[in-house]
Amino acid sequence: RKEVEQDPGPFNVPEGATVAFNCTYSNSASQSFFWYRQDCRKEPKLLMSVYSSGNEDGRFTAQLNRASQYISLLIRDSKLSDSATYLCVVRTSGGSYIPTFGRGTSLIVHP
């Protein structure tokens, strides 16, 4: 079983739709969680850190479910500019600086 698993997609959604991605992790000692966005042929950029209580940033909501060992990203009112690959990143302990990346979920928002 891979340490961090994501459905690669692609998820094809119309503008204005709500879409959700999940990411599962295998190591129960994982403590830090992030969502990164990566545009085609560009570098990953931090979208959101994921806090235990869940957090929201505009149209984006991230949640953590420790019992089931997954994190989620919800995007409301999808825009064309949201088209990208969304990478899930997990660190195994609070002091660890070695992250584990998922392979990413591709989102395509169409008119």
Q: Which residues bind another protein (CB under 8 A)?
A: 8, 32, 34, 41-46, 49, 87, 89, 91, 95, 97-99, 101-104
Q: How far is the CB of 41 from another protein (least distance, A)?
A: 7
Residue that is written with structure tokens 């591709």 in the block: 106
Minimum gap (Å) between residue 46 Cβ and another protein: 5
Residue type, 86: Y
What is the longest distance spanned by two Cα atoms in the chain? Answer: 43
Task: Tell me the C-alpha distance between 69 and 31, whole Å.
Answer: 11
Shortest distance (Å) from residue 99 CB to another protein: 7
Helices (H) and strands (E) in the chain, counts: 0, 11
Q: Is the Cβ of residue 29 or residue 46 nearer to another protein in the bound state?
A: 46
